[in-house]
Amino acid sequence: MTGANKGIGFETAKQLAEQGFTVLLGARDETRGNEAKAKLKKENLDVRFLHLDVDEPETHEAARKFIEENFGKLDVLVNNAAIAVDEFKSGTLVPTSQTPLDIYRRTFETNFFNLIALTQTLLPLVKKSEAGRIVNLSSALGSLTLHSDSASPFYGFKVPAYNISKTALNAFTVHLAYELKDTPVKVNAAHPGYVSTDMNDNQGPMAVKDGAKTSVQLATLSDNGFTGKFVHLGEELPW
Ligand SMILES: NC(=O)c1ccc[n+]([C@@H]2O[C@H](COP(=O)([O-])OP(=O)(O)OC[C@H]3O[C@@H](n4cnc5c(N)ncnc54)[C@H](OP(=O)(O)O)[C@@H]3O)[C@@H](O)[C@H]2O)c1
């Protein structure tokens, strides 16, 4: 799991470990990662720290090697890490037409391109699992259907680079699910909810305990579960 040192990722690591998974808690910062691991270890959970910086391809390869040598397969990949670096001016979000290209590029590097790179590196190990699951942390803010519906509560939340990176991630989810549809691997996108974390200055009304539920559900789908869907707490969302 990526970005598991805090927020929704940390809680997802906790809940999966509570279900008996051996969790590889991925974090880009070794200190923050080890501190998070220590918290879960105190609860007697089977959690190990894995140095994983989505933007550093050498950590992808080191992770692949570590997992292959120690486990021979990867049952679940949770692509949880993401950034939201859209700019504000005078307290208002910079609109789509004025958002600097650099912001789009930085956001896409982490939330899209490098997520794909990590997934491609680890996919051979996911395929070795009898029940491989890939969970991509998207957002309802990535839904084109909701964004073009003036009656939707998400209609006015135009956070350009972040939202569009999640739209692209949704498309990647659909394409990868199609490629793997005749294998046991299930690939789905999660909207966790509007969850109180550092990403939104803890403004979200939902607690991380509930925010992790969708990721956990998609990580633990049964063999006859769905693939290629966009889900929030068991409900399907429009792309
Ligand atoms: N919170 C919400 O309301 C909400 C709503 C919809 C979707 N989501 C999605 O849910 C996921 C988790 O978000 P969150 O709210 O828990 O955010 P968060 O508290 O800001 O946590 C983000 C995590 O991603 C990590 N990260 C960022 N860049 C990374 C990189 N290059 N390599 C590895 N890790 C990296 C962060 O590590 P550091 O601690 O080192 O920065 C942190 O662990 C994200 O994909 C987000 O887009 C959140």
Task: Enumerate domains of the chain plus CATH numbers.
Answer: 73-236 (3.40.50.720)
Residues with a CB atom less than 6 Å from ligand 1: 2-3, 5-9, 28-29, 32, 52-55, 80-83, 110, 137, 139, 191-192, 194-195, 197-200, 204
What three-state secondary structure class fits 139? Answer: coil
Question: What is the tens place of the pLDDT at every residue in 90-110?
Answer: 999 999 999 999 999 999 999
pLDDT at 68: 98
Instruction: Quote the pLDDT of residue 70.
Output: 98
CA-to-CA dists, residue 75 to 2, 126, 133, 225, angstroms = 14, 6, 6, 15
Where helices occur in 50-191 by DSSP H, the ranges are 57-70, 101-108, 114-127, 144-147, 160-179
Question: pLDDT at position 140, please?
Answer: 98
Output the average pLDDT for the chain: 98
